[in-house]
Amino acid sequence: MIAIIFAGATAMFVSMFGTRIVIRFFQTRGKGQPILGKEDLGPEHHMSKAGTPTMGGLAIVVAAFAGWMVAHVRDLAFSRQAEIAWIAILVMAGMGFLDDYLKVKRAHNRGVFWKKKSYITFTLSLLLAWWMVSATNISTSLSFTRSDLPGWHMPWYVWVLWAATMIWATSNAVNVTDGLDGLAAGSAMMGFLAFTIIGYVALRYRGIYTDVVNPLDLAVMAAAFAGACAGFLWFNAAPARIFMGDVGALALGTALALLALTLNTHLLLILICGINVMEAGSVGIQMIVFKASGRKKRLFKMSPIHHHFELVGWPETTVIIRFWLISGICVASALALFIADFTKQVQG
């Protein structure tokens, strides 16, 4: 428990100071986030935010890694799964960094790979998932709250495709959610706190969660990310002084997906990331309606759905807080399902 608290506190401290450094770096160079305008069908009402420092996700990733590493000072063993997870997070963060760099350099909110980024991230997800299953003894059963519920075994190649889809979908869903000040960071922080609790329960009751390898290391990683998000929110809360950028969104989404995979809570991730599912789903629905109508009609005024509510007349802070509440309800519901199943196993 001490290692978990130590990781979270260290990450929050490093994140706060690291974010300040990133803000000063961009401010002194007069560089910042470009915003899509009317000509690109972007959120024109956000044009006033153009020039805000970006790539704050660098501070989140560095802080989370620092918190995770520092926690190992107390004789905590490194797990192979957590090590591969971290490499996966850094790879996806690197992809996001490249896109952010090109956006800032070209002063346009589309990196050179914006049309191909989805294919590139999925390919990377496939390779990383294959590495995880080939180098560790991770469970390849479809899971909800534990590996044997429902416990449907998947051949390794099916698991790789399933895991890659989870990583790709979650990282992109968090990226879509990152459109309002503090929305993505706040909802991700709740998700990481949920995985911290799940990891701790798996640690205390190894007889039930036998297929979770080194749950303490995974709980420490989740706590480190939760602390890093909290520290970043100090500057990212509305009105944001910095954005996390793709480097942060892709890293956070990848971390959430990998925690679900390693803690055997695959299907529970849908509820833990409920707000991200809603945001990404609104984009998919908008595209389907638009194409089905011959490119004449749209279901929402703008997607992702947070922009729709802004255009309806909700102030940005109202949208953020209400979406945080929705995220909190989803995460609490996920934890309730996990605890209910855990209680049933203990009593049975």
CA distance 112 to 304: 22
Give the DSSP letter string of 281-325.
Answer: HHHHHHHHHHHHTTS---SSSSSSHHHHHHHHT--HHHHHHHHHH
Give the DSSP letter string of 127-175.
Answer: HHHHHHHHHS----EEEEEETTEEEEE--HHHHHHHHHHHHHHHHHHHH
Nearest to 212 by CA among 342, 44, 24, 334: 342
Every domain of the chain and the residues it spans: 2-347
Q: Is 112 left (phi over 0), alpha (psi -120 to 50) or beta?
A: alpha
User: Which pLDDT tens digit goes with each residue over 292-331?
Assistant: 888 888 888 888 999 899 889 999 999 999 999 999 999 9
CA distance 166 to 164: 5
Q: What's the chain's Rg over C-alpha atoms? A: 20
8: amino acid identity, one letter: G
DSSP character at residue 86: H
User: Which pLDDT tens digit goes with each residue over 13-37?
Assistant: 999 999 999 999 988 876 666 655 4
Cα distance between the two ends of the chain? 26
Half-sphere exposure of 332 (CA within 13 A, CB side): 6
Contact 41, 35 (CB under 8 A): no
User: Percentage of the chain surpassing pLDDT 90?
Assistant: 75
Give the DSSP letter string of 110-125.
Answer: S-TTTTTHHHHHHHHH
pLDDT at 109 over 80: no
What is the pLDDT averaged over residues 252-265?
98
DSSP character at residue 73: G
165: amino acid identity, one letter: T
User: Which pLDDT tens digit goes with each residue over 138-187?
Assistant: 999 999 999 999 989 999 999 999 999 999 999 999 999 998 999 999 99
